Amino acid sequence: MPNTLLSASGLERSFYGVRALNGAALDVRAGTITGLIGPNGAGKTTVFNCLSGVIPCEAGQILFDGADITGLRPEQISQLGLVRTFQIARGFPKLTVLETLLLHGDGQPGENVLTAVFTPGRSRARERDLIDRAREVAEQLNLTGVLENMSSDLSGGQKKLLEIGRALMGRPKLILLDEPVAGVNPALAGEIAERIAALRETGLTFLIVEHDMDIVARLCDPVIVMAAGARLTEGTFDEIVADRRVQDAYLGQRA
Amino acid sequence: MLSYLLATLTFAGVYALLALGLNVIWGMAGMINLGLAGFFALGAYASALATVALGLPIALGIVIAIAAAALAGALLSRLTLNLRGDYLAIVTLGFGEVIRLIAANEIWLTNGSDGIPGIPGPFRGALTPLQFNALSCGLLLLAVALAWFLTERLRRSPYGRALRAIRDDETAAAVAGKPVRLYKVQAFAIGAGLLGLAGAAYAHFTSYVAPDIFRPLLTIYIFLALTAGGTGNTSGAVLGAFLVIVILEGSRFIEPMFHGMSGAQGAALREIIIGSVLIFVMRIRPEGLLAERPPKPVEP
More confident residue, B281 or B63: B63
Is B241 contained in some domain?
no
CA angle B53, B138, B144 (to 5 degrees): 85
Is B266 contained in some domain?
no
Per-residue pLDDT reduced to its tens digit, A141-197: 889 999 999 988 888 888 888 988 988 988 899 999 998 888 888 888 888 999 899
Rg (CA), chain A: 19
Q: Taking CB atoms and an 8 Å limit, are B175 and A132 in contact across chains?
A: no
Contacts of B292 in chain A (CB under 8 A): 94
More confident residue, B45 or A108: B45
Is B263 contained in some domain?
no
Contacts of B172 in chain A (CB under 8 A): 86, 90-92
Count of domains for chain B: 1
pLDDT at B162: 95
The lowest-confidence range among A232-241, B26-35, B37-46, B252-261 is B252-261
Confidence band of B299 (pLDDT split at 50, 70, 90)? low
Q: Show the domain range for A202.
A: 4-251
Per-residue pLDDT reduced to its tens digit, B123-133: 888 899 999 99
Q: Taking CB atoms and an 8 Å limit, are A79 and B173 in contact across chains?
A: no
* Conformation bin of residue A225: beta by default, left when phi > 0, alpha when psi is -120 to 50: beta
Q: Show the domain range for B81.
A: 2-215
Give the closest of B165, B179, B190 to A95, CB-based. Answer: B165
pLDDT at B235: 95
Contacts of A100 in chain B (CB under 8 A): 165
Is B164 contained in some domain?
yes
Over range B96-103, report the average pLDDT: 94
Most confident by average pLDDT, A5-14, B186-195, B283-292: B186-195
Is B13 contained in some domain?
yes
pLDDT at A156: 83
Over range B256-283, report the average pLDDT: 82
Is B98 contained in some domain?
yes
* Residue in chain A lying closest to B159 (CA): A111
The lowest-confidence range among A1-5, A17-21, A67-71, B169-173 is A1-5
Mean pLDDT rounded to a whole number for chain A: 89
Residue B106 near residue B49 (C-beta atoms within 8 A): no
pLDDT at A1: 46
Mean pLDDT rounded to a whole number for chain B: 92
**Cα gap A70→A64, rounded to integer Å:** 9
Helices B36-52 and B180-206: crossing angle in degrees, nearest 10, is: 50
* Complex ipTM over 0.90: no
Rg (CA), chain B: 19
Count of domains for chain A: 1
CATH number at residue A17: 3.40.50.300
Write out the E strands in chain A: 4-15, 18-29, 33-37, 59-64, 67-68, 82-84, 174-178, 205-209, 223-227, 230-235
pLDDT at B138 over 90: yes
Shortest Cα–Cα distance, B172 to chain A (Å): 7
**Cα gap A192→A171, rounded to integer Å:** 19
